[in-house]
Amino acid sequence: QKATREAIRLLQGVLENGEDTAPNEHPGAGAAGTAGARSVGESLEEELQALREDVKPKARPLRFYSEVSRGVTILSVDGRRAPSQLVVDLFERQRAAGREGQAVRFVVRMAPLDVVCSPHLKNFQAAAAAELPKLLKDAREGAGWYCSFHSRAMSTIKREDVMAALKDIMKPLKLDLSVSDAEYMVVIEVNPVLCGFAVLRDYE
């Protein structure tokens, strides 16, 4: 719960900090402790107060979706910014703020998922074939790609099947498989709740 609250505070801070910027413009670094760092409790209290007053609560751009397993939580974000861009903006904001940035004590890893589907191979194949060409439309010819595959308590999609599907998709895009120095990384998460993926650059 502490990690989930911390992740929501971090990401919501970026969302609210960027409300006055253009959709594709990165928000500037902001100081920790701003309105964007509201706690989950404060957000829930706001909704409860709205219910008491018979007023429709203000929709939150970021909310808890599901707990896959102990320590692994899925958060849902509205459509104002792609999850991958949101995470990139968060990292840039933290880096720019340096020691003045919000301390991160509990969150260990964030995996943005721009496209989600049912956690079954046919669903993944269809989603990847439809969405990956769009996500990679600006990639230069000959750019390297690779896959970061994580499966949790789910065996319906195997790594070798994912790689076979990706190779079929990447070939007409004229992108090259690169194990050691990929410019584009297809990050894939599979769990009992969903299968999701995103394309990231400079992934470590």
**Tens-digit pLDDT profile for residues 24-63:** 333 332 222 333 334 555 555 665 565 566 555 566 788 8
Bin 37: left if φ > 0, else alpha if -120 < ψ < 50, else beta: alpha
The single-letter code of the amino acid at 199 is: V
- Tell me the range of 10-19, 51-60, 73-82 where mean pLDDT is highest: 73-82
pLDDT of residue 185: 97
Q: How far apart are CA 71 and CA 169, in angstroms?
A: 33
pTM for this predicted structure? 0.76
Q: What is the pLDDT of residue 63?
A: 85
| Closest alpha carbon to 116 in 90, 69, 82 | 82
Does 26 or 139 have the greater pLDDT score? 139
